[in-house]
């Protein structure tokens, strides 16, 4: 039987938590202030979602980077929480973690276009198709195409069959560059 990770929240020292390298979500200063005020008033009401890297004995953030930042940047929050963040652990492959991050972010925030383009690029390099990206990241085909175009990498289009946009025509008699009314 499936059990949601939120039922196994654990306290983790912030020093053992690291951000992922691919999160495209950006929060403006007024919203960060609001997040600080919320955590100051209500405490941490949602855990940070992490992947546990056994090899390095670290928790890599999948969702909750800005809640993590609040503790890192605010001594009063760090002290009150005794340097511990609530963590919900998911055990997924990198591509699934990337998809998870995007799903969490898209449900509530804005994205940096360049970073989103890099995620599409990385997912393609991991062997994920446009269909997979569309289904798992909630993007339509046009959005994926635009993000691919931003990276400017031909490799992202290697599996695309392009039709010919034009057909060469047989050479015709050359017409004057500026036709005259008398046909000369």
Give the pLDDT score at 180: 45
Query: How do residues 128-172 score in pLDDT, each as one tens digit?
Result: 899 988 877 777 888 888 888 877 655 555 555 655 566 555 555
Torsions phi, psi for 9 (to 5 deg): -70, 135
Q: Residue 69 — left, alpha, or beta (φ > 0 → left; ψ -120 to 50 → alpha)?
A: alpha
Single pTM value for the model:
0.61
Per-residue pLDDT for 175 more than 60? Answer: no
- Asked if residue 12 lies in contact with residue 59, where contact means CB atoms within 8 angstroms, the answer is yes
Identify the residue with better confidence: 179 or 65.
65
HSE at residue 76, side-chain half, CA atoms within 13 A, is 6
d(CA 129, CA 8) in angstroms, rounded, equals 33
Secondary structure class of 84 (helix, strand, coil): strand
Q: Where are the beta strands (DSSP E) in the chain?
A: 10-13, 17-18, 25-26, 48-53, 58-63, 84-89, 110-111
Pairing of strands 48-53, 84-89: parallel
């Amino acid at each position: 039987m499936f059990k949601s990770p939120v039922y196994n929240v654990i306290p983790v020292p912030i020093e053992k938590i690291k951000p992922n390298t691919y999160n495209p979500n950006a929060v403006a200063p007024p919203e960060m202030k609001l997040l600080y005020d919320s955590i100051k008033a209500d405490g941490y009401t949602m855990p940070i979602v992490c992947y546990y890297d056994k090899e390095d004995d670290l928790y890599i953030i999948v969702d909750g980077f800005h809640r993590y930042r609040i503790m890192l940047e605010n001594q009063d929050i760090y002290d009150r929480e005794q340097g511990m963040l609530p963590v919900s652990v998911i055990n997924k492959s990198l591509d699934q973690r990337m998809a998870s991050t995007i799903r969490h972010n898209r449900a509530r925030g804005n994205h940096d276009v360049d970073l989103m383009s890099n995620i599409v690029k990385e997912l393609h390099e991991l062997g994920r198709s446009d269909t997979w990206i569309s289904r798992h990241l909630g993007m339509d085909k046009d959005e994926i195409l635009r993000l691919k175009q931003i990276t400017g990498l031909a490799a992202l289009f290697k599996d695309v069959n392009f039709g010919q946009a034009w057909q060469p025509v047989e050479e015709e008699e050359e017409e004057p560059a500026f036709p005259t009314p008398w046909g000369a």
